[in-house]
Structures are given as C-alpha cells and as structure tokens.
Structure 1
Amino acid sequence: MFKFKDLVLDSENHTVFINDKLIELTAKEYSILELLMTNPKKVFTKQNIFESIWSEEYVVDDRAVIVHISNLRNKLNDEDKYIKTVWGIGYKMQDN
C-alpha cells in the first residue's frame, strides 16, 4: 500500500482511493500511478513511462502517455495536487 497525501494506492487489490472514495482507473492509468507513487522523488520521462507500462520500445509519438496522464489527472481531480509536470523532462509525484 502506498499513500501520498489523501491518495492511497492498494497494490494488493489494484485499487485507488482518495479520502476513502474509490477511484475507477483503467489498467494503464493504474500502472502509471503505481510507477509514480512507488518512486515519488524520481522524474520519469515520457519514454520511461511508455517503456515501463507498455513494455514496448518507445516511439517518437508520445500521445499515448500524454493522454493517459491527462485522463488520470481528470479522474483524480488532480489540479497539480498529485502529479507534477517537470517541463521539458516528464512527470513525477508532486512534492509534499
């Protein structure tokens, strides 16, 4: 189980909660969030995320990562509370 502010990721049950409310995520969204939460200080490039989640070689078009991060942020009602964009590099968990 990983906790970040009021966001809880239960890796055993593959569930995510905010303030004890279940947040429905797709498998890819969940995997991206898990990757970020298990390495909260690390900045992941779009290439890192793509290769880790899709288990494929990175292609130049990074739309898949951008779309999934955007959808994840919308579902978490993020507003930069959880996932931070590190401009020109990638994404990481927001500093506490």
Structure 2
Amino acid sequence: MEKLKILVVDDESRMRKLVRDFLVKQDFEVVEAEDGEDALNKFYAQKDISLIILDVMMPKINGWEVCREIRENSKVPIIMLTAKGEESDELMGFDIGADEYISKPFSPKILVARVEAILRRAGKKEEGTLDIGGIIIDKPGHQVIADGKVMELSYKEFELLSYFVENRGIALSREKILNHVWNYDYFGDARTIDTHVKKLRSKLGSRGDYIKTIWGMGYKFEVEE
C-alpha cells in the first residue's frame, strides 16, 4: 500500500525533524520545506500531498499567505502551527481555510493523532447524495449545491454540514459535534465549532437559518417542510 505523503513546513530544522520522526514511525512519507516559498514550490511540484503541517511565522512567505494561496487551488487538509496562543490568530487560521490549529509547544503524539483523524475522514468513502431543503450534498464528489449553485466549502465545513443533515431534527451538543466531525477530543474548546457554524450559515445564505442554535448546548439542523 502506497504511503500517504505529508508536507511539513517550518523554518526550524529541529522542529521539522521532530515532526518528521513521529510521522515516519506511523508509516507516513514526509516532504520538508524550510519556508513559505519552498512550501509552495514543493506542493505544486509533488501533486500528491495528502496533508500539510504549516508553521505560521516563516521568512519569505508566512503561513497565512501559503494557506490562502493553496486554498485557491486545493482542498488538501492543512494544520497550522504557531507559537502564538491568541484567539484572534486561531480564528484567522480557520477563516482562511485551515482545518486545524495547534499552538506550540505541542505533543508530537497529539499532532500525529490529529493528522490520522483528518486523513481518516478525508479518505472515508461515503456513498450517496443527500437532498434536503434545496441543499444537495454529493458525498462521493465532495460537493454541495444550493439553489442550483455550487457552494465553495472548506473540507471541515463540508463535513459539518453533512453531519448536521444526517442528524437533522436532532439537538447536537458541541462535544458530540467535535467527536464526530473533528474525530478527537478538543478538550472543551467549542470556539472552533461556533466559528465554522457562523461561516457555514453565511455561505448558505437564507438556508443558513436551517442551522438552529440550541442555547447552552449546541446546534440542530431543521428544515420546515
């Protein structure tokens, strides 16, 4: 079986080696890049990168800019790494299309667990098409159509919407959403769900009202017939 290829981008060689060693132990193939410019060159040259681990603070081109450019051309999962722990930085990361956000210092084992969780979700072949309330979710094609128009959704937004639709009419706690959509424990940090729901509602336009807030608990997807 062919190994999945992961691009690790960090200007600190020691950090790249630490991450690479843990990933290689889990049988991943690792490509390294030392700055943003190097990352973009290798991403476009390799063409079979399954996931990117991307540092924010780098010379030449920073991680934000790399993420923005890649998102214009690809939905490859991206995990952002940063030494900063500010909430605004985390929200910015999600806003430009990052799938996960991990602050340094971090546990390499936790990072690998998150990599595996994302790749499991990305590689999970789910059959069928969901059609409800004017929203069509093409799961094999990983595409959402609303009012006849293709929606530009990130990987996590697609997964979140699919989970809502599959559980329509059911009140879902934030913890339950985290466990099913992110596939691991977020240690009670629900900001990422609220951020993704806000963006998803905005992209769905008037149909964003289908996602109801259950105060003090979570959300429920409900379509009035």
Taking structure 1 as the reference length, the TM-score comes to 0.90
Cα distance in 1 between the residues matched to 2:168 and 2:146: 17
For residues 46-96 of structure 1, what are the alpha-carbon distances to aligned partners after superposition, in whole Å with 9 as ceiling and x for unaligned?
111111111111312211111011111111114653211112221111242
Instruction: Indicate the residue corresponding to 2:147 in structure 1.
Output: 19
2:203 pairs with 1:56: no
CA contact (8 A) 1:50 1:56 kept: yes
Task: Could you tell me which runs of 5 or more consecutive residues in structure 2 were left unpaired when the two chains were aligned.
Answer: 1-128
AA matched with 1:21:
K
1:31-46 aligned within 5 A:
31-46=159-174
User: 1:29 aligned to 157, 160, 165, which one?
Assistant: 157
Q: Does 1:90 align with 2:218?
A: yes
Superposition RMSD in Å: 1.5
* Matching residue's letter, 2:214: V
Query: 1:82 is aligned with what amino acid?
Result: Y
Confirm or deny that 1:4 pairs with 2:126.
no
Q: SS at 2:209's partner residue?
A: coil
Q: Which amino acid aligns with 1:69?
A: V
Q: Tell me the secondary structure at the aligned position of residue 25 of structure 1.
A: coil
Displacement of 1:38 in angstroms is 0.8
What is the identity, as a one-letter code, of the residue corresponding to 1:7?
I
Conserved 8 A contact 2:202-2:208: no
Larger deviation, residues 72-81 vs 23-32: 72-81
Specify the SS of the correspondent of 1:77: helix
Q: Secondary structure at the match of 2:187?
A: coil
Count of matched residue pairs: 96
Residue identity matched to 2:184: E
Which of 62-71 and 83-92 deviates more?
A: 83-92
Which is higher, the Rg of structure 1 or of structure 2? Answer: 2
List structure 1 segments (4+ residues) > 2 angstroms apart after TM superposition.
78-81
Q: TM-score, normalised by structure 2?
A: 0.40
Verify the 8 A CA contact 1:80 1:94 in the aligned structure 2.
no
Gaps of 5+ in 1: none
**What letter corresponds to residue 85 of structure 1 in structure 2?**
T
| Counterpart amino acid of residue 169 in structure 2 | K
Are the equivalent residues in 2 in contact too, given 1:29–1:72 (CA < 8 A)? Answer: yes
